[in-house]
């Protein structure tokens, strides 16, 4: 709006607009002032995934889902999360995401998966369903108007369902066999998270977490590790709501022996996210 030197009404209208904008900014619920946060987003990760399923007597082959089974490992998925700030420096939160990787091909080497041995040339259809649920507690070592640094601890839950359907013709005989494995694996995690607020509306932050664990017992042999990192930026466009973008990377390696899965799995992903946040 452009006002002339004698346009008192125009100047009053401009002042009212500026006052309204300032009032709106003052009413924003900034990170650190909220009690409850709810998040909803979309994720476009690229996976690298390997599976090993043993039988009762011998070890299975470590299978690369992309190279060996023709699984498309560039996928998309949705995620949601919530966080409760029950005291100024204390937060509890979780996120949930789910992905399905599937594909098929005629294999070029013999593969031992679970109780099945698939010969060269067998046609395999494979599917991996993966659910990821990190649950974290955060304590803020530093909490200022524009900065918050917190330590985190919690569990990173991986739930996997792996299935391979194979068929082949051996001379005059055709066969069709199925191999499956399921795992529900919690891994502890420890890390740091930091957020900086540049203005009333703009923020950016980063988080890292890692852990390694080895356990041997009568009912369970287990060895696992994880590393994760995340960068994000956010714009608050109204009192309660914000839009953000992030780059997320994660890697987990697990070797285990128990009733539901003997063998192990490695998976890693990285990719961009977009999301909406509501703070109350």
Q: Are the C-beta atoms of residues 272 and 249 closer than 8 Å to each other?
A: no
Residue with the bigger pLDDT between 85 and 2: it is 85
**Tens-place pLDDT, residues 232-249:** 999 999 999 999 999 999
Average pLDDT over residues 195-212: 93
In SS3 terms, the chain reads as: CCCCCCCHHHHHHHHHHHHHHHHHHHCCCCCCCCCEEEEEEEECCEEEEEEEECCCCCCCCEEECCCCCCECCECCEEEEEEEEEEECCEEEEEEEEEEEEEEEEECCCCEEECCEEECCCCEEEEEEEEEEEEEEEEEEEEECCCEEEEEEEEEEEEEEEEEEEEEEEECCEEEEEEEEEEEEEEEEEEEEEEEEECCCCEEEEEEEEEEEEEEECCCCEEEEEEEEEEEEEEEECCCCEEEEEEEEEEEEEEEEECCCCEEEEEEEEEEEEEEEEEEC
pLDDT range class, residue 258, cuts 50, 70, 90: low
Q: What pLDDT score was predicted for residue 31?
A: 87
The per-residue pLDDT for range 157-169, each reduced to its tens digit, is 888 888 898 887 6
* pLDDT for the residue 20: 45
Is pLDDT of 49 > 80? yes
Determine the straight-line distance between the first and last CA of the chain, rounded to whole angstroms. 34
**Residues 219 and 168 sit within 8 Å (Cβ to Cβ):** no
Q: Answer with the residue of higher pLDDT: 54 or 217.
A: 54
pLDDT value of position 248: 93
pLDDT at 11: 45
Lowest-pLDDT choice from 83-92, 161-170, 227-236, 253-262: 253-262
- Higher-pLDDT residue of 147 and 252 is 147
Q: What is the pLDDT of residues 89-120, one digit of tens each?
A: 999 999 999 989 899 888 888 888 888 888 88
For position 172, what pLDDT does the model report? 53
269 pLDDT more than 60: yes
Q: Indicate whether 142 pLDDT > 70.
A: yes
pLDDT at 27 over 90: no
Label residue 23 by pLDDT band (50, 70, 90): very low
CB distance 184 to 157 below 8 Å? yes
Q: What is the mean pLDDT of residues 177-206?
A: 90
- Choose between 31 and 37: higher pLDDT: 37
Of 180, 179, 42, the closest CA to residue 116 belongs to 179
pLDDT at 143: 95
Strands 202-216 and 36-43: unpaired
* Threshold 0.85, pTM exceeds: no
The predicted pLDDT at position 171 comes to 58
pLDDT band at 170 (very low <50, low <70, confident <90, very high): low
In this predicted model, what pLDDT tens digit does every residue of 52-83 receive, in sequence order?
888 877 788 888 988 898 888 888 888 999 99
């Amino acid at each position: 709006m452009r006002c002339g030197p004698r346009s008192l009404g125009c100047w009053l209208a401009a002042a009212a607009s500026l006052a309204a904008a300032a009032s709106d900014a003052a009413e924003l619920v900034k990170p650190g002032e909220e009690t409850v946060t709810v998040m909803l987003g979309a994720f476009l990760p690229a996976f690298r995934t390997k599976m090993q399923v043993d039988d009762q007597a011998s070890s299975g082959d470590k299978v690369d889902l992309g190279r060996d089974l023709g699984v498309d490992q560039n996928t998309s998925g949705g995620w949601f999360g919530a966080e409760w700030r029950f005291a100024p420096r204390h937060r509890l939160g979780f996120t949930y995401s789910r992905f399905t990787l599937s594909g098929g091909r005629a294999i070029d080497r013999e593969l031992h998966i679970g109780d099945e041995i698939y010969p060269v040339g067998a046609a395999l259809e494979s599917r991996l369903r993966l659910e990821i649920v990190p649950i974290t507690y955060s304590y803020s070592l530093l909490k200022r108007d524009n900065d918050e640094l917190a330590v985190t601890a919690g569990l990173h839950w991986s739930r996997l369902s792996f299935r391979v359907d194979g068929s082949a013709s051996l001379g005059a005989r055709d066969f069709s066999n199925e191999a499956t494995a399921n795992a529900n694996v919690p891994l502890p995690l420890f890390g740091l998270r930091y957020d900086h607020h540049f203005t009333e509306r703009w923020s950016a932050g980063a988080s890292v977490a890692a852990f390694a664990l080895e356990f041997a017992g009568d009912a369970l042999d287990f060895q696992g590790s994880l590393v994760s990192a995340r960068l994000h930026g956010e714009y608050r466009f109204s009192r309660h709501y914000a839009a953000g973008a992030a780059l997320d990377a994660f890697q987990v390696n697990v070797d285990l022996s128990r009733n539901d899965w003997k063998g192990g799995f490695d998976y890693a992903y990285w990719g961009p996210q977009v999301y909406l946040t509501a703070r109350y």
